[in-house]
Amino acid sequence: MVLPLFILFTFAQRMVVRLELKEIADGVLEREYRCQPEDFPVLGELAKAENVHFKGFVNFRLRLQKTGQIVEVDGTLTATAGMQCGRCLQPFEQPVKSDFALTFTPAMDEEEAAEEVELEADELGLIFYRGEVLELLDPLQEQVIMSIPIGPLCQTDCLGLCPECGCDLNVSRCDCEKRPFNNKFGALADLKIDKS
């Protein structure tokens, strides 16, 4: 299937997303794109390892601007992620929205690369392309992964699990004795330092 903005095809069970530079020859191009979570190989591995999975489509709104050979991409990602709460371990769904910016630049040949060694492309945040096509699947996959919260919570005031019996404190209370937290540095709270 060929779309105006993207060329989509399956290659060994992996979808390839490409943007032809001639599509943005006039300077600015805005497009929306929807994909299945299965289109991103790392998301399958993440679902197995971290109990994070995406429901429905992962949506991208892209604004591409070409200046000379540099292509700037400003985008927004929206999706619904199913996760496990970091406190009570209950599964929950959360809408995910992330804004991002990508910069594509032509790949240098080996002579140019040997002369300019000071900063690597990753340090500058650049993505190299070859020819007249931008490969978008890997950069978009990175944005999906970075949109996942590090410590997901089902609600901001989640009470978590009882450290003694494992009871979900959001659902019921237990009769376990609450031990004070052993803060070894608590003795320093009363320390007075003379600033003279």
The string of pLDDT tens digits covering residues 80-124 is 999 999 999 999 999 999 999 999 998 876 655 555 555 454 556
Using one digit for the tens of pLDDT, what is the confidence trace for 24-39? Answer: 877 788 888 888 888 8
Residue 153, pLDDT above cutoff 70:
yes
d(CA 143, CA 79): 12
**Domain extent listing, the chain:** 6-159
Whole-model pTM: value is 0.72
Q: Which residue has the higher pLDDT, 176 or 8?
A: 176
DSSP β-ladder status, 28-35 and 91-106:
unpaired
- In terms of phi and psi (left: phi > 0; alpha: psi -120 to 50; beta: otherwise), the region of 24 is alpha
Residue 54, both tokens: 């995406």
